[in-house]
Amino acid sequence: MSGNVRPESMQRITTLELANAFIDEQIKEIRAQVGDGKVLLALSGGVDSSVVAALLIKAIGKQLTCVHVNHGLMRKGESEQVIEVFGKQLDANLVYVDATDRFLDLLAGVSEPEKKRKIIGAEFIKVFDEEAAKLNGIGFLAQGTIYPDILESDGVKAHHNVGGLPEDMQFELVEPVKLLYKDEVRVVGDALGLPHGMVYRQPFPGPGLGVRCLGAITRDRLHALREADAILREEFDKNGLAGKVWQYFIAVPDMKSVGVKDGKRYEGWPAIIRAVNTMDAMTATVENIPFELLQHITERITHEVDGINRVLYDLTPKPIGTIEWE
């Protein structure tokens, strides 16, 4: 553990200049550690793994292989962005695995939240393991560990992390941002030229939309959730809330209510909006969203998303409500 203690003397990375100095230093360290070896990285598209990927691409180019597992529970456009940024713009060695069917088949009929999480976590490891086994000569595993992960490794977050890897993997770890806080990782991401939306992405749970498609996941309800969530994100972006609200999303419960559409009875699911602010996710307050904006979002979701016939706003702080619904 002592090697992981952040020295008091370490300067916080707050400017582009400091970030560039950090990048130069890390490039040297990565090259010294890895030599001409090959490195593997599970690239989720989240801030931490994206920054590590971009750093490693700069340092060792094609010696890095990134594996992006699409578990079918990503938000709209996220896997596409990983392919666009890393596969195309940065020309990385990117293995893209669309494992949607595997995950959704396993999850069919499973309604218990912790069981869903376990299935998603275990299957993620399995898919990643299979891909790793196809690659030859990998000696190193890169990870987007950040300093709070080390501090909290005995705490709540440990069981949250999807993408934890099997213990029998015989790789040496490469963890270039392990002494940084999240805001520092973001400054480094900016300096590396990653897209703003990727660098300032709101926290997104490892099991993804799986814990927001409440109860047993079905493909049609998951699709409705993804579309409604994309509308919420678009409207928050347009109305200046994206950078202001800590976490916001839609949850869709496994229940229907009666409604009317085009003069006919229309049974549909409700879309529940959650928008909260917090410092540490232990407690959270609800954002005061202008009523007109809520009405506009309701109008859009109920008209544009098949299967949704009501929109609700969750007014519950944490405690007593958790941020996620399951």
Minimum CB distance to ligand XMP, residue 21 (Å)? 31
Exactly one of 58, 102, 160, 223 binds ligand XMP (CB under 6 A); that residue is 160
| Torsion from C-alpha of 44, 171, 190, 281, nearest 10 degrees | 60
Residue 126 or 160 having the CB closest to ligand XMP: 160
Residue 205 or 270 having the CB closest to ligand XMP: 205
Query: Read out DSSP for 45-93?
Result: SSHHHHHHHHHHHHHHGGGEEEEEEE-S-SPTTHHHHHIIIIIIIS--E
State yes or no: residue 307 binds ligand XMP (CB under 6 A). Answer: no
> If DSSP codes are grouped into helix, strand and coil, which group holds residue 143?
coil
Distance, in Å, from the CA atom of 180 to the CA atom of 5, rounded to the nearest integer, reads 11
Exactly one of 247, 269, 289, 302 binds ligand XMP (CB under 6 A); that residue is 247
Question: CB-hemisphere CA count at 13 Å for 1?
Answer: 6
Please, which of residues 115-144 interact with ligand XMP by CB under 6 A? Answer: 117
Span from 64-72, 204-212, 227-235, 309-317 in contact with ligand XMP (CB under 6 A): 204-212
Size of the residue set binding ligand XMP (CB under 6 A):
14
Span from 55-63, 81-89, 199-207, 298-306 in contact with ligand XMP (CB under 6 A): 199-207
Minimum CB distance to ligand XMP, residue 206 (Å)? 4
Closest CA to 36 of 56, 70, 63, 54: 63
Check: CB of residue 143 under 8 Å from CB of residue 134: no
| Torsion from C-alpha of 75, 43, 86, 182, nearest 10 degrees | 80
Exactly one of 125, 281, 293, 312 binds ligand XMP (CB under 6 A); that residue is 281
State yes or no: residue 45 binds ligand XMP (CB under 6 A). Answer: no
Helices 47-60 and 16-34 sit at what angle, rounded to 10 degrees? 60
Exactly one of 45, 72, 176, 205 binds ligand XMP (CB under 6 A); that residue is 205
The secondary element (H helix, E strand) that includes residue 38 is strand 38-42
Minimum CB distance to ligand XMP, residue 19 (Å)? 25
Residue 207 or 268 having the CB closest to ligand XMP: 207
Check: CB of residue 167 under 8 Å from CB of residue 131: no
Binding site for ligand XMP (CB under 6 A): 117, 160-161, 203, 205-207, 211, 247, 281, 318, 322-324
